[in-house]
Amino acid sequence: MDFAVFFINNIGRIATRTAEHMLIALSALFLALLVAVPLGILLTRQEHLAKPVLGLGNVIMTIPSLALLAFMLPVLGIGNRPAIAALFLYALMPIMRNTYTGIKQVQPSLIEAARGMGLKDFQILYQLELPLAFSFILAGIRTTLVILIGWATLAAFIGGGGLGQLIWAGLTNINYNLILSGAIPAAGLALLADLLMGRLETILTPRGIRKTRVKEVKNAFNKD
């Protein structure tokens, strides 16, 4: 009850923070898509690069977030830019890896058949490999987006705003309503993003391969 009153009284501020939060997470995701998907495709063509590049992605993931933000501060200044840059780096790995794995799991016999039918390399990529790898790539994006929404709370550390600001303000003022007013929308956003991405996955997967795709994706993940 107490919280409901607080929430309604502060709705404008919570909405602003939510918008900032989404902007940070979505910008990072968008930028990561522009880089990571082509890079993932490239890695399937240049196999010898796959190990070092994916390894580098893993190394980036291990850098503690606050340390990464602190390093970016002198370069990018304060505000949401360093936060977006940091989240962008964190988002690269899962998207790149899923793109790579997705294309690699396309059966070689299919590619051979396509080649036999006279398809060029880029035609094989666009008409065969990418559609078949699509649910893998989308699954990677889905996980990444949910993670990014969680991590965007860190933007508050460096003046980037977002829902983390409400959470931290609550934590340092011993104000539980304030903590909840940041935490609940953040959790809601993550759930909503997951739901929408799930929908998108179903819509974008060609009807003919829907059922089998789900199974294949599951099997492939179990194998790992």
| Contacting residues toward another protein, per CB under 8 A | 66, 69-70, 73-74, 77-79, 156-159, 161, 165, 168-176, 178-179
From the CB of 208, what's the least distance to another protein, in Å?
A: 51
Question: Which residue, 136 or 157, is less far from another protein as judged by CB?
Answer: 157
Question: Which residue, 184 or 220, is less far from another protein as judged by CB?
Answer: 184
Do 136 and 101 contact (CB within 8 A), yes or no?
A: yes
Question: Which residue, 77 or 206, is less far from another protein as judged by CB?
Answer: 77
From the CB of 158, what's the least distance to another protein, in Å?
A: 5
Which tokens belong to 31?
């930028």
Question: Which residue, 131 or 150, is less far from another protein as judged by CB?
Answer: 150
Question: Which residue, 14 or 133, is less far from another protein as judged by CB?
Answer: 14
Mark 58-88 as b/e (b = at least 16 C-beta within 10 Å).
eeeeeeeeeebbeebeeebeeebbbbbbbbb
Our measurement of the distance from residue 28's CA atom to the centroid of its chain's CA atoms, rounded to an integer in Å, reads 8
Read off φ and ψ for residue 62, nearest 5 degrees: -85, -10
3-state secondary structure of 82: helix
Do 24 and 169 contact (CB within 8 A), yes or no?
A: no
From the CB of 169, what's the least distance to another protein, in Å?
A: 4
Contacts of 206 (CB under 8 A, 6+ apart): 131
From the CB of 160, what's the least distance to another protein, in Å?
A: 8
From the CB of 163, what's the least distance to another protein, in Å?
A: 12
156 vs 69: CA distance, rounded Å: 11
